A and B are shown apart, each in its own frame.
Chain A
């Protein structure tokens, strides 16, 4: 029983595929294609949700002003201070 090769003691010029499950190349390619497309779908859904939540949060002008100050803070101390005072 082997998923691919059974011996190295053979005429190596006749050995072509080294990977297991030879014959599954089409299935593998379509699985790879599906994984790529699904990744984009999940990522865009995740990003849309996060941005919608943030956009809703920053409808509050005070929170947006505080967040902007926090984002532009130069040091950890300024970040912390901005947190305490605003967000």
Chain B
């Protein structure tokens, strides 16, 4: 920080990530509104609190061990090496607090907190994706424990493996997932499916013959605003997946500097490229979603989101029209999968989270392996992107780090009687159970107001 250009580069990067965090906060606001809008009146406060408390719990645990995992586990450990020393990411490090200088240039003093926060907001997103699927019957305590497992452990393990310039999946499989089709969405979708298999459907969801009933979101306006806020926050999500300014000239073997924006793998892209592709994949998803769902608002909006998610793995490199078609093709795949799984396995995914995030993310990874076949996956390793590398990556994300941990932890919680709300309480309504004083107060105030109005001769 001893010259103006170096200081500008560092502090621009610091402010850049800080702004992405503010944008990404809107994802969480959106998820809260969306899930409350999809909950019946008797469960709205329970849903809201369930999602709200993800914020402190995942934040604290991501500080204590999540950030450390990202930098310590890229080798597996055990796949291509051991644990990596992480002097800036351990909770004992001064760099995990207010410092002025580090390594002589102060770079990590300025970057560590905002970079941590950007990844933390990805963690909240992963937990919130799961949250929507399990509404109206999961115990809050069980969900919050599961939120820590996905938010501060399994997703960040997959980020270390497949979303780090030195991750073993990048080195060995040529795994490429620029905007997190797999490392956020497929893993969270798989995790949600694992929980749902143990948790079971809401009472009344399926008829005696197994036919699913449509529990319509009671507040479509809140769902709409929530999904628009998720779209808005997604801008920050995309920006946060990039390194805004870096000199990659030396690493590329050039003489002299080459300043550019890169993706998380430190290979070049531009903010313009991802802006083209973000909007075109959103458009492809919305257009196809409208057709496939015959204009159903809930699925049209969700398909816009699913379209972006499907194109995200390759949206650093796709042509915008390719991004649009990848998104559009993904919609009937995840929409059909949702319906098939619901009918066949009696899985009650309340908001279609497994479809929009899990199946769309899985599909996006596989299709990017075809679209980007032969592209270099890394600046530092020889691995190239391939269909089989991406398919293997999708399997690791959805099943290995998603479904299996979600299923096992849910089984354990269920065995301890901590997973599901008692059936009588579920029927009565979760808000009545937890907040019955509020309802009683509301009734008393109503009665008192009526008495007073009569006393004044107003009614």
* Contact A54 to B94, CB < 8 A, known contacts A32-B64, A83-B440: no
Interchain CA distance A40-B148 in the complex, whole Å = 11
Q: Is the CB of A17 within 8 A of B94?
A: yes
Residues of chain B within 8 A of A76, CB atoms compared: 442, 446
Residues of chain A within 8 A of B443, CB atoms compared: 79-80, 83
Residues of chain A within 8 A of B145, CB atoms compared: 40
Q: Is the CB of A19 within 8 A of B60?
A: no
Main secondary structure of the interface of B (DSSP, over half): helix
Residues of chain A within 8 A of B99, CB atoms compared: 16-18
Q: Is the CB of B91 within 8 A of A29?
A: yes
Q: Is the CB of A16 within 8 A of B102?
A: yes
A25 lies within 8 A of chain B by Cβ: yes
CB distance from B2 to the nearest CB of A (A): 8
Interchain CA distance A76-B214 in the complex, whole Å = 26
Q: Which of B73-81, B349-357, B416-424 contacts A (4 or more CB under 8 A)?
A: B416-424
B42 lies within 8 A of chain A by Cβ: yes
Q: How many residues of A contact B (CB 8 A)?
A: 41
Interchain CA distance A43-B139 in the complex, whole Å = 11
Q: Which of B114-122, B312-320, B385-393, B430-438 contacts A (4 or more CB under 8 A)?
A: B430-438
Q: Is the CB of A71 within 8 A of B92?
A: no
Indicate which residue in A15, A26, A39, A71 contacts B429 across the interface (CB closer than 8 Å). A71
* Contact A47 to B94, CB < 8 A, known contacts A55-B425, A58-B425, A71-B432: no
CB distance from B433 to the nearest CB of A (A): 4
CB distance from B139 to the nearest CB of A (A): 6
Residues of chain B within 8 A of A1, CB atoms compared: none
* Contact A55 to B422, CB < 8 A, known contacts A16-B102, A71-B432: yes
Q: Is the CB of B425 within 8 A of A71?
A: no
Interchain CA distance A14-B99 in the complex, whole Å = 11
Indicate which residue in A17, A54, A59 contacts B433 across the interface (CB closer than 8 Å). A54
Q: Give B424's nearest chain A residue, CB to CB.
A: A58
B-contact 0/1 string along A62-80, CB 8 Å cutoff: 0010011011111011011
Residues of chain A within 8 A of B432, CB atoms compared: 67, 70-71
CB distance from B127 to the nearest CB of A (A): 15
Q: Is the CB of B429 within 8 A of A67?
A: yes
Interchain CA distance A16-B2 in the complex, whole Å = 15
Indicate which residue in A12, A40, A47 contacts B139 across the interface (CB closer than 8 Å). A47
CB distance from B202 to the nearest CB of A (A): 14
* Contact A29 to B428, CB < 8 A, known contacts A54-B422, A80-B443: no
Interchain CA distance A56-B141 in the complex, whole Å = 20
* Contact A36 to B429, CB < 8 A, known contacts A17-B97, A51-B422, A54-B424: no
Q: Is the CB of B64 within 8 A of A16?
A: no
Interchain CA distance A40-B64 in the complex, whole Å = 15
Residues of chain B within 8 A of A59, CB atoms compared: 424
B271 lies within 8 A of chain A by Cβ: no
Residues of chain A within 8 A of B433, CB atoms compared: 50-51, 54
Which of A's residues lie within 8 Å of B, judged by CB? 12-19, 22, 25-26, 29, 32-33, 35-36, 39-40, 43-44, 47-48, 50-51, 54-55, 58-59, 64, 67-68, 70-74, 76-77, 79-80, 83
- Name 25 interchain pairs, CB-CB below 8 A, sorted by A: A12-B100, A13-B2, A16-B99, A18-B98, A19-B97, A19-B98, A29-B92, A36-B64, A39-B57, A40-B145, A44-B418, A47-B139, A48-B418, A50-B434, A51-B422, A51-B433, A54-B422, A68-B429, A71-B42, A71-B428, A71-B432, A72-B42, A72-B429, A76-B446, A80-B446
Q: A51-B422, A83-B439 are in contact. List 4 more A-B contacts (CB 8 A).
A: A16-B102, A26-B92, A32-B60, A59-B424
